[in-house]
Every structure is written in structure tokens, then in C-alpha cells.
């Protein structure tokens, strides 16, 4: 089944065509990677999908439902999850509290002014379940301000998972991670990808080739190629426009 | 609550309980009136802090709700005294258990209307639009000749409560203290509730909260209404204490004073507004008795406190006690 369908999306910033007639789909069970050089319009596309930027033309459908003009929280309620390229977290809160907030968003009952947030056992249990076995298990009570860059990237993903999305939009989850952290993230994404379809924006080719079931290449806002890992590796136009030197492909 | 904080709160409550005896002891009964005003302003400042500190909404018109609360008490009293029905169907009242909830309700309605419109904007625009609404209300009550215009309404007698002798200054102090304790217990619950957690989340990172599925507008509006109700409650007590309600109570300088109290005490801290209100009122009282140019001095003191302490008086105290402990 098609979980995400983008049809003829266009976004202009003044004279700049940041998104140029983009159409693509994400199917169930798929990790669809979106690659492209800096400034190609990848984040702009993600931000249109999650509703932070309104497209000028085109339609976006989530599981068959038109969400083109829906506000951000409504899309999230329908199961759209995302991570931010530049991490966007609750800076004064701990890892555990950040994750609990996602669980809280899912559970509801958040206009209650007379309960005790500390007493919502189910909330904290679920937050702990997300933390368990993750790279941040030992850092649960550390405040975000004191986390390393890599840890914040990990937390972005855990928060998105705690919300239990039907579709994940990941904007460069590997960016700035060390080698070990990257390996860890790849393993984690592969595991998550078994149950949650993803649109994965990533510069790290090793990660893309390791994870993607399909790759689309975005250059100057346009999709210039789309296909399996092998097809994209073999595509001459892609090499020229984006992948550059031969040895980068190996 | 951490043990140290619990100990300090207990000590503070004991102190507040003995304030009437202490002011008698030092032979300055006027200090009791000052204590009443501090308690009332602490509630108003804490209400502002709920949106400003916990919710990140810089409202520059909170005196409006304070004034609306005071006028509710005043207008109900005027109709009680004259026997005429308000709007032709609402009887007046001089019963605190009616007038206080009425004040909370009416200021809540005003906060809902003003909040619903102003929260569509943000940043400097929000500051200006809340200020503009408050000034509109100020001029409305100045023009409202039926209720005294710029002189406001005289309330001949403080509202009645459970047969207590409200003309007795000490009794009135304990009534205000009792309401203040209830107010801060309620506020403590709200801050530590599910909603309180969401509100602090929105203050820290609205974009993140939206990405989690929270619609910030609805939560902010709810906080704004609750905050307006709190300020209205404080205003209703002030009308009972001063025995009048006047447009001055909602002048923009009053909104500014509330904001100064919050900043002085520590934005976004639970006890900060109490410290801020106390410091502001005490400084005002003593500087005014000392020199005509007290506002200049007050400004200087404020500047020093804000620049020299991180997180206002509350932040300063927290650091002192942490070092001591
Ligand atoms: N709000 C905006 N207003 C004007 N131009 C913008 C805006 N946001 C992005 N752009 C421009 O649109 C283009 C696409 O930007 P975008 O951030 O989507 O690229 P990207 O593919 O995510 O790049 P990177 O790999 O560096 O993250 C860039 O030229 C950028 O300068
Ligand atoms: Mg980007």
C-alpha cells in the first residue's frame, strides 16, 4: 500500500524553485532514500510534507487522505513522524522528559490541570521502554543542554519513535555522527524500518546504500532519477550531477 | 518538593501567620496593610508568571484582568447597595463566596476574548496587542460614568464572609492570607500537572511541540484564560481590601509593575513572583517615604538586581542555599 504520495509539488522562494514538480511515493515496508547536493531542496520538501511550509502547487496524501493544507499537529495525529536536520528538542528537559512528552502527546489528556505529571506511571513506563536498549539508556536523566551532538541526534529519533508514527521523515539522521555512532544509527534504522516506512534524507552514501530499498535523486528541486540502489549507482546522469568521482560510489 | 524547600515554606508560613503580632510589636500597624498588598500582588504576579514564565507569552496587559476582577466586586456591591438588578436580571451581592467566583468567571471571559485574538500574533505584536486591549478597557471604565468614571466605585464595606468581622484589619489579613495559600496550592498543582508540562514544553520549543502533535494555540489560550482568572481573583481581593475599584488598577503602568515583579523575582520560577511582589512593594513604600524621586531610585535598584542576579531574587536565593547546603 502507498503510505505517502506526493504529486506535482512546487515551492518557490521568490525566484528560486526550491521544489520543482516533485512526485514520489513511499510504500509500506519501504525505506525510500532522498539524496542530493547541498541546497537541492531536501529539507524544504520535508518541511512541506510535515506542514511547516505551504507548497505553491501539488498535492500530498498520507494513506490516501489529502493532507496538503492540514496544520502540523493534525498531520502528526494522522501518524506522520519526523526528525529535524538541526536538532529541535526541549533544551531544559532531560532525555526521559523529552521522550515522555512524545508519549504524552500520543496518550492525550493534556488539558488536565489537576493531575500530577510525575504520577502518570504509564507515561514514564513507556518512555523508559523506548529508552531501554537504546544508546541513551544510561543518559536518561541528563538534560539536553548537556548532551553531545551525536546524543541529540539519537534523541531526535527516539522521540519520533515514541510517538509511534505510521511514516517517518528523517532529515539527515547521520549528519555529524562519529563512525561508531553512525554504525549504531544504521542498525537502529534498519530495525525500525522493518515496521515503519521511511523517507530518508541523507548525505552519507554508505548509510543510504546500506538501508535504502529505493533511492530518488533531487537536484535543484527536481527529481532527476529514481530507482533501486543498483540502478542509481549505475546511472550516468546521477554520477555526473551528484555522485561525482567514481571512487565515491564504492 | 525537596526537604529544604519544604522547610523554608513552612518557616515562611509561620512568619506570615505571626505578621499581625509582629507589626503590633514594632508599633507600626501600617505594615499590616503593606503585607496584605504584597500577598495580593504576589497572586497577580504569579498569574502573569504562569503565561510569561511558564508559557513564554509576554502579556503587557495583565492589569486589565486585575481591574476586571476588582470592578466585578465593585459593580456587584453597587447593585447590592442600590437594590437595582444588573442588566435587569442579575442581583448585586456583598458575599465574598459569590463575588470572588464571579470575578474569576468574568475575568476568565475577558481573558478568553483578548487571548483568542492576541494569540494569533506573536513576539512584539503580541506585547503591543495585549497592551492595546488593556488600554481600551482602561478608557472604557474611565468613560463609564454609571460606575464613577475615573473615580471608580466606592465599596462602603468589605464583602462578608462566613460571619467574620471584615472591618477588623487583622481578620481581613488572615482572610487574604488564607486565600493566598489556597491560590498557591492550586497554582502548584497546575504547574505540576499534565497541562503544566505541555505549557513548559511550548515555552521551550514551540516547533518541537507542534511536531509532536500539540496545537500550541489551544494550549496557550487555555493558559491565558487561567492566568486571567488568577489575576481577576487577585483584583477582587484588592477591591475588598482597598474598598474601591478604579480604572487606575488597569492602567498600563500597573501591567508594567506586575511584569517588573515577575522579572525581579525570577521569571518562570514558582516562588519568584512572591519575592518580586514583596521586594517591589517594600522598595516602593520605603523609597517613597524617603525621597520624592523614588521611582528613579527604584529603577536603579531594579537594574542592579536584574543585572547582578541570574534568575532574579529566586535565582539568587537558590544559589545561596545550594552553596550553604
Ligand atoms: N525559507 C526560505 N526562504 C528562502 N529560501 C530558502 C528558504 N529555505 C530554503 N531556501 C533555499 O532553498 C534551497 C533549498 O534549501 P534546503 O534547505 O531545502 O536544501 P537541502 O537540500 O536540505 O540542503 P542541505 O543538504 O544543505 O540540508 C536553498 O537554496 C535554500 O537557500
Ligand atoms: Mg537540509
Distance CA B323, CA B317 (A): 10
What pLDDT is attached to residue A55?
Answer: 96
A138 Cβ closer than 6 Å to some ligand 1 atom: no
Q: Tell me the β-bridge partners of A31.
A: A198
| Residue B88 main-chain phi, psi, to 5 deg | 80, -5
Residue B265's Cβ-count burial label (10 Å; 0-12, 13-18, 19+) is buried
A219 Cβ closer than 6 Å to some ligand 1 atom: no
What pLDDT is attached to residue B77?
Answer: 92
B30-49 and B169-191 helices, crossing angle to 10° = 20
Contact B211 A84 (CB under 8 A): yes
Please report which confidence band the pLDDT of residue A248 belongs to, taking 50, 70 and 90 as the band edges: very low
Q: For ligand 1, atom 28, which residue shows the shortest CA distance?
A: A39
Residues 6+ apart with CB under 8 A from B239: B69, B70, B71, B73, B74, B155, B245
Q: CA B280, B284, B286, B291: dihedral to nearest 10 degrees?
A: 140
Distance CA B46, CA B199 (A): 15
ipTM, interface predicted TM-score of the complex: 0.91
- How much distance in Å is there from the Cα of A122 to the middle of ligand 1? 40
| Residue A29 main-chain phi, psi, to 5 deg | 75, 10
What pLDDT is attached to residue B196?
Answer: 96
By the 8 A CB rule, do A49 and A60 touch? yes
Chain segment A19-43, per-residue pLDDT in tens: 999 999 999 999 999 999 999 999 9
Q: Which of B202, B207, B208, B220 to mutate to test the interface with A (most CBs of A within 10 A)?
A: B208
- How much distance in Å is there from the Cα of A199 to the middle of ligand 2? 13
Please report which confidence band the pLDDT of residue A247 belongs to, taking 50, 70 and 90 as the band edges: very low
- Cα–Cα nearest to B239, from B46, B48, B72, B32: B72
Distance CA B53, CA B61 (A): 15
Q: Which of A101, A119, A124 to mutate to test the interface with B (most CBs of B within 10 A)?
A: A101
- pLDDT tens, residue order, chain B (325 aa): 678 888 889 988 999 898 888 888 887 888 999 999 999 999 999 999 999 999 989 999 999 999 999 999 999 998 887 878 778 788 878 889 999 999 999 999 999 999 999 999 888 999 999 999 999 999 999 998 888 888 889 888 877 788 877 788 889 999 999 999 999 999 999 999 999 999 999 999 999 999 999 999 999 999 999 999 999 999 999 999 999 999 999 999 899 999 999 998 988 899 999 999 999 999 888 888 787 788 888 888 888 887 887 788 888 888 887 766 5
Q: For ligand 1, atom 26, which residue shows the shortest CA distance?
A: A38
Interface check for A112 against chain B (CB to CB < 8 A): the answer is: yes
A217 Cβ closer than 6 Å to some ligand 1 atom: no
Chain B: give the shortest CA distance to residue A238, in Å. Answer: 33
User: Which atom of ligand 1 is found nearest the CA of A53?
Assistant: 1
Q: For ligand 1, atom 4, which residue shows the shortest CA distance?
A: A13
Distance CA B156, CA B243 (A): 6
Residue B308's Cβ-count burial label (10 Å; 0-12, 13-18, 19+) is exposed
**Interface of chain B toward chain A, CB-CB under 8 angstroms:** 189-190, 192-198, 200-201, 204-205, 207-215, 219, 222, 226
Q: Is residue B65 part of a domain?
A: yes
By the 8 A CB rule, do B9 and B181 touch? no
Interface check for A77 against chain B (CB to CB < 8 A): the answer is: yes
Task: Count Cα atoms within 13 angstroms, Cβ side, for A70.
Answer: 22
- Give the domain extent around B133: 2-251
By the 8 A CB rule, do B273 and B262 touch? yes
Please report which confidence band the pLDDT of residue A246 belongs to, taking 50, 70 and 90 as the band edges: very low
Distance CA B310, CA B259 (A): 16
Q: How many CB atoms within 10 Å of residue A148?
A: 14
**What CATH code is carried by the domain that includes residue B188?**
1.10.3470
By the 8 A CB rule, do A199 and A167 touch? yes
Interface check for A247 against chain B (CB to CB < 8 A): the answer is: no
DSSP string, A127-175: HHHHHTTSTTGGGTTSBGGGS-HHHHHHHHHHHHHHT--SEEEEE-TTT
Number of folded domains in chain B? 1
Q: Is residue B299 part of a domain?
A: no
- Boundaries of every domain in chain A: 2-249
By the 8 A CB rule, do B36 and B238 touch? no
Q: CA A20, A26, A32, A36: dihedral to nearest 10 degrees?
A: 10
User: Which atom of ligand 1 is found nearest the CA of A203?
Assistant: 25
By the 8 A CB rule, do B253 and B138 touch? no
- How much distance in Å is there from the Cα of A171 to the middle of ligand 2? 7
Interface check for A86 against chain B (CB to CB < 8 A): the answer is: no
* Contacting residues of B for A113, CB less than 8 Å apart: 189-190, 193-196, 226
Residue A136's Cβ-count burial label (10 Å; 0-12, 13-18, 19+) is buried
DSSP string, B258-319: HHHHHHHH-TT-SSHHHHHHHHHHHHHHHHHHH-TTHHHHHHHHHHHHHHHSTTHHHHHHHH
DSSP string, B160-221: B-TT--TTSHHHHHHHHHHHHHHHHHHHHHHHTSHHHHHHHHHHH-HHHHHHHT--HHHHHH
Q: What is the average pLDDT value for chain A, to the nearest integer?
A: 91
A38 Cβ closer than 6 Å to some ligand 1 atom: yes
Chain A: give the shortest CA distance to residue B84, in Å. Answer: 38
Q: What is the mean pLDDT of residues A216-241?
A: 86
Q: Residue A250: is its pLDDT beyond 60?
A: no
What pLDDT is attached to residue A244?
Answer: 55
Q: Is residue B272 part of a domain?
A: no
Q: Residue A245: is its pLDDT beyond 50?
A: no
What pLDDT is attached to residue B305?
Answer: 80
Distance CA A203, CA A37 (A): 8
Output helix, strand, coil percentages for chain B, rounded to the nearest 5.
75, 0, 20
Distance CA B288, CA A108 (A): 51
Q: Residue A136: is its pLDDT beyond 80?
A: yes
CB nearest to B197's CB, from A104, A114, A159: A104
Q: What is the average pLDDT value for chain B, to the nearest integer?
A: 90
Q: Can you list the positions of beta strands (E) in B113-155? A: 153-154
Q: What is the mean pLDDT of residues A148-177?
A: 93
Contact A106 B215 (CB under 8 A): no
User: Which atom of ligand 1 is found nearest the CA of A221?
Assistant: 14
* Residue tagged 519575592 (cell numbers): B275
Chain B: give the shortest CA distance to residue A92, in Å. Answer: 7
* Residue tagged 551532538 (cell numbers): A149
Chain A: give the shortest CA distance to residue B230, in Å. Answer: 14
Q: Which three cell numbers stand for residue B265?
A: 523575582
Superfamily name with CATH number, domain A2-249: P-loop containing nucleotide triphosphate hydrolases (3.40.50.300)
- How much distance in Å is there from the Cα of A202 to the middle of ligand 2? 9
Alpha carbon of B97 to those of A95, B90, B164, B246, B324: distances in Å? 45, 16, 13, 22, 44
Q: CA B86, B91, B95, B99: dihedral to nearest 10 degrees?
A: -40
Query: Looking at per-residue confidence, does B81 or A184 come out higher?
Result: A184
Q: How many CB atoms within 10 Å of residue B180?
A: 21
Distance CA B260, CA B276 (A): 8
Q: Is residue B144 part of a domain?
A: yes
What pLDDT is attached to residue B1?
Answer: 62
By the 8 A CB rule, do A62 and A43 touch? no
What pLDDT is attached to residue B163?
Answer: 80
Least confident of A92-96, A241-245, B166-170, B287-291: A241-245
A42 Cβ closer than 6 Å to some ligand 1 atom: yes
| Residue A21 main-chain phi, psi, to 5 deg | 50, 50
Amino acid at each position: 500500500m502507498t503510505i505517502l504520495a506526493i504529486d506535482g509539488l512546487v515551492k518557490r522562494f521568490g525566484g528560486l524553485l526550491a521544489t520543482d514538480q516533485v512526485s514520489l511515493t513511499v510504500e509500506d515496508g519501504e525505506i525510500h532514500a532522498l539524496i542530493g547536493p547541498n541546497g537541492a531542496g531536501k529539507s524544504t520538501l520535508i518541511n512541506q510534507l510535515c506542514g511547516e511550509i505551504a507548497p505553491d502547487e501539488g498535492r500530498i496524501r498520507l494513506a490516501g487522505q489529502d493532507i496538503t493544507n492540514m496544520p502540523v499537529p493534525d498531520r502528526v495525529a494522522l501518524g506522520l513522524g519526523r526528525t529535524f536536520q538541526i536538532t529541535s528538542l526541549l533544551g531544559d528537559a532531560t532525555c526521559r522528559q523529552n521522550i515522555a512528552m512524545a508519549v504524552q502527546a500520543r496518550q492525550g489528556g493534556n488539558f488536565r490541570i489537576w493531575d500530577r505529571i510525575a504520577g502518570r506511571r504509564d507515561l514514564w513506563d513507556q518512555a523508559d521502554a523506548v529508552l531501554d536498549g537504546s544508546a541513551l539508556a544510561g543518559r536518561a536523566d541528563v538534560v539536553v543542554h548537556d548532551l553531545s551532538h551525536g546524543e541529540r541526534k539519537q534523541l531526535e529519533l527516539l522521540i519520533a519513535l515514541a510517538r509511534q508514527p505510521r511514516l517517518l521523515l528523517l532529515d539527515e539522521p547521520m549528519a555529524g555522527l562519529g563512525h561508531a555512532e553512525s554504525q549504531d544509527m544504521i542498525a537502529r534504522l534498519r530495525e525500525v524500518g522493518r515496521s515503519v516506512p521511511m523517507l530518508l534524507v541523507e548525505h552519507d552514501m554508505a548509510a543510504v546504500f546500506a538501508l535504502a530499498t529505493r533511492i530518488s535523486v533531487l537536484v535543484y528541486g527536481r527529481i532527476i532519477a529514481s530507482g533501486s540502489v543498483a540502478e542509481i549507482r549505475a546511472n550516468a546522469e546521477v554520477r555526473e550531477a551528484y555522485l561525482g568521482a567514481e571512487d565515491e560510489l564504492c | 518538593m525537596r526537604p529544604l524547600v519544604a522547610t523554608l515554606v513552612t518557616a515562611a508560613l509561620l512568619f506570615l501567620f505571626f505578621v499581625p503580632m509582629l507589626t503590633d510589636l514594632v508599633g507600626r500597624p501600617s505594615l499590616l496593610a503593606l503585607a496584605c498588598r504584597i500577598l495580593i500582588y504576589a497572586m497577580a504576579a504569579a498569574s502573569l508568571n504562569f503565561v510569561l514564565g511558564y508559557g513564554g507569552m509576554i502579556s503587557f496587559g495583565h492589569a486589565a484582568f486585575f481591574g476586571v476582577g476588582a470592578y466585578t466586586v465593585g459593580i456587584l456591591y453597587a447593585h447590592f447597595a442600590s437594590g437595582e438588578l444588573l442588566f435587569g436580571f442579575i442581583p448585586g451581592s456583598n458575599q465574598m463566596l459569590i463575588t470572588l467566583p464571579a470575578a474569576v468567571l468574568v475575568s476568565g471571559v475577558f481573558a478568553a476574548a483578548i487571548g483568542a485574538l492576541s494569540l494569533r500574533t506573536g513576539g512584539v505584536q503580541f506585547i503591543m496587542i495585549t497592551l492595546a486591549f488593556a488600554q481600551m478597557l482602561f478608557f472604557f471604565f474611565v468613560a463609564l460614568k454609571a460606575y464613577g468614571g475615573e473615580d471608580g466605585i466606592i465599596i462602603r464595606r468589605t464583602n462578608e464572609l462566613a460571619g467574620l468581622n471584615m472591618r477588623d484589619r487583622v481578620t481581613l489579613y488572615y482572610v487574604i492570607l488564607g486565600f493566598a495559600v489556597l491560590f498557591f496550592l492550586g497554582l502548584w498543582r497546575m504547574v505540576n500537572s499534565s497541562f503544566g508540562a505541555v505549557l513548559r514544553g511550548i515555552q521551550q520549543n514551540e516547533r518541537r511541540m507542534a511536531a509532536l502533535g500539540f496545537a500550541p494555540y489551544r494550549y496557550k489560550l487555555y493558559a491565558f484564560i487561567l492566568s486571567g482568572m488568577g489575576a481577576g481573583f487577585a483584583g477582587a481581593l484588592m477591591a475588598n481590601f482597598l474598598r474601591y475599584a478604579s480604572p487606575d488598577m488597569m492602567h498600563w503602568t500597573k501591567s508594567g509593575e506586575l511584569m517588573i515583579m515577575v522579572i525581579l523575582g525570577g521569571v518562570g520560577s514558582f516562588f519568584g513572583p512572591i519575592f518580586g511582589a514583596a521586594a517591589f512593594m517594600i522598595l516602593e513604600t520605603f523609597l517613597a517615604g524617603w525621597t520624592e524621586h523614588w521611582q528613579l531610585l527604584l529603577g536603579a535598584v531594579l537594574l542592579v538586581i536584574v543585572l547582578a542576579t541570574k534568575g532574579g531574587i529566586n535565582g539568587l536565593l537558590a544559589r545561596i542555599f545550594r552553596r550553604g547546603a
